[in-house]
């Protein structure tokens, strides 16, 4: 049984962790940021401007444990420009200002997300035959958004979730207005535009459904590697792969297979970022302590593999405390059958570290120095 299950405070847990790591007593105040920094890694999370405004204690917890933040929604194209030409940047600017004030790095998420409903409606309705007009709209969006935050974004998710098994193409590519208009070379257009707009940002291809040892995810890994090889061969300026890591308790994880996948990415000369870690616990029984243990165990096994790969530079969770997780939003489809809130994140609703926090800290501590 881990220290947290004994009901110890987070501070004592930290002291215990410091003792385990052979660190001096002052290490009892270590945050995930401190532990990551010592390894040459970065730890961070996704936030929303409303949380910064309405929940000061949470904002302080984010500032304490994190070195990097990303907007959970407010830099997405369909959120920024729901109608053509009217850009709503208040939320994105508030998050960028928080990062600057707190001395945190900033990720950008996401310039192009071809999932239905995640491109602006006016883009989805664009006649694919008018390629020229669509390309101009894409270029203007990227120049504007990546240009606005130029020099302030450590890495941009340039394309998000462009592979979709359910669309049943042999190359795995998601069907969208962009694929219809340009075919795969829409990647070339948008990555080149992002490189021109913010030459200092690391340019990332980000996707989900890669982590578990289940058939559609195994197939998706192969399709992603093939896509990356083609992009590299064409000189497309993709520099990193973002692995979302929306893990599912109960789904198989194979450390060896996943390590081999990460090694293939690294061998292409690409960096790796773990961008949206959380654990869906719908498959687990109600008892919170039992769930927390299973979640921490999965996170530790997963991160041990991710962080052993030296190409992995950054780790972000998709929110820091359970009550702010997307899985616990009213009306969202990821709710548990027993009606209990999910426990997907490192802190509980009292901002106390859970076993998942300890698992992350332990995995970072065990990682080779960068
Ligand atoms: C999610 C947000 O967390 C939700 O609040 C929103 O309603 C939908 O998007 N993959 C991604 C993220 O790349 O942008 C998604 O974020 C979660 C899945």
Per-residue model confidence as pLDDT tens digits over 152-179: 999 999 999 999 999 999 999 999 999 9
Q: Which of 205, 274, 280, 318 for mutating ligand 1's site (highest number of atoms within 8 Å of CB)?
A: 318
CA quadruple 339, 344, 345, 347: dihedral sign: positive
The Å distance, Cα 71 to ligand 1 centre, comes to 10
Closest protein CA for atom 5 of ligand 1: 326
Ligand 1 within 6 A of CB of 244? yes
The Å distance, Cα 72 to ligand 1 centre, comes to 6
Predicted pLDDT at 18: 52
How many C-beta atoms surround the C-beta of residue 100 within 10 A? 11
Closest protein CA for atom 13 of ligand 1: 160
Active-site residues: which are they? Answer: 161, 276
pLDDT per residue rounded down to tens, the chain (370 residues):
333 333 334 444 555 555 555 444 434 579 999 999 999 999 999 999 999 999 999 999 999 999 999 999 999 999 999 999 999 999 999 999 999 999 999 999 999 999 999 999 999 999 989 999 999 999 999 999 999 999 999 999 999 999 999 999 999 999 999 999 999 999 999 999 999 999 999 999 999 999 999 999 999 999 999 999 999 999 999 999 999 999 999 999 999 999 999 999 999 999 999 999 999 999 999 999 999 999 999 999 999 999 999 999 999 999 999 999 999 998 878 899 999 999 999 999 999 999 999 999 999 999 999 9
Surface-to-core class of residue 363, CB atoms within 10 Å of its CB (0-12 exposed, 13-18 middle, 19+ buried): buried
351 DSSP 8-state letter? S
DSSP tally for the chain: helices H, then strands E: 14, 9
- What whole-number distance in Å separates Cα of residue 134 and Cα of residue 119? 12
The Å distance, Cα 73 to ligand 1 centre, comes to 7
Strands in 143-225 per DSSP E: 155-160, 202-207
**pLDDT per residue as tens digits for the range 91-107:** 999 999 999 999 999 99
- What whole-number distance in Å separates Cα of residue 268 and Cα of residue 41? 21
Q: What is the largest CA-CA distance in the chain?
A: 66
Q: Which of 47, 70, 73 for mutating ligand 1's site (highest number of atoms within 8 Å of CB)?
A: 73
Residue 275 vs residues 61, 238, 260, 313: alpha-carbon distances, Å: 19, 16, 19, 10
The HSE-up count of residue 102 (CA atoms within 13 Å, CB side) is: 23
Predicted pLDDT at 14: 52
* C-alpha radius of gyration, the chain, whole number: 20
Q: Which atom of ligand 1 is nearest to the CA of 275?
A: 13
Ligand 1 within 6 A of CB of 176? no
- What whole-number distance in Å separates Cα of residue 277 and Cα of residue 245? 5
């Amino acid at each position: 049984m881990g220290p947290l299950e004994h009901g110890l405070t987070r501070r004592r847990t930290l002291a215990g962790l410091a003792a385990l790591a052979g660190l001096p007593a002052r290490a009892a105040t270590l945050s995930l940021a401190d532990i990551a920094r010592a390894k040459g890694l970065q730890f961070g999370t996704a936030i929303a401007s409303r949380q910064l405004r309405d929940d000061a204690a949470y904002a302080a917890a984010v500032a304490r444990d994190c070195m990097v933040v990303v907007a959970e929604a407010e830099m997405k194209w369909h959120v920024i420009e729901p109608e053509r030409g009217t850009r709503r940047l208040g939320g994105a600017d508030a998050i960028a200002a928080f990062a600057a004030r707190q001395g945190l790095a900033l990720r950008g998420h996401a310039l192009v997300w071809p999932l239905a409903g995640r491109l602006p409606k006016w883009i989805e309705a664009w006649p694919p035959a008018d390629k020229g007009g669509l390309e101009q709209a894409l270029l203007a969006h990227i120049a504007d958004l990546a240009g606005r935050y130029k020099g302030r974004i450590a890495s941009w998710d340039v394309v998000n979730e462009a592979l979709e098994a359910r669309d049943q193409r042999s190359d795995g590519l998601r069907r969208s207005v962009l694929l219809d208009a340009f075919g795969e070379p829409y990647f070339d257009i948008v990555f080149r535009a992002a490189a021109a707009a913010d030459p200092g940002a690391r340019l990332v291809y980000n996707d989900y459904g890669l982590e578990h040892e289940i058939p559609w995810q195994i197939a998706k890994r192969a399709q992603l590697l093939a896509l990356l090889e083609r992009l590299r061969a064409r000189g497309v300026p993709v520099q990193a792969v973002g692995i979302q890591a929306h893990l599912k308790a109960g789904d198989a994880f194979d450390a060896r297979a996943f390590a081999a996948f990460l090694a293939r990415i690294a061998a292409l000369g690409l960096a790796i970022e773990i961008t949206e870690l959380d654990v869906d616990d719908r498959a687990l029984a109600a008892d919170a302590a039992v769930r927390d243990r299973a979640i921490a165990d999965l996170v530790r096994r997963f991160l041990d593999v991710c962080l052993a790969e030296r190409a992995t530079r950054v780790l972000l969770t998709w929110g820091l405390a359970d009550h702010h997780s997307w899985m616990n939003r009213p009306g969202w489809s990821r709710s548990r059958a027993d009606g209990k809130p999910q426990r997907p994140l490192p802190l509980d609703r009292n901002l106390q570290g859970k076993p998942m926090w300890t698992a992350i800290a332990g995995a970072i501590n065990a990682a080779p120095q960068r």
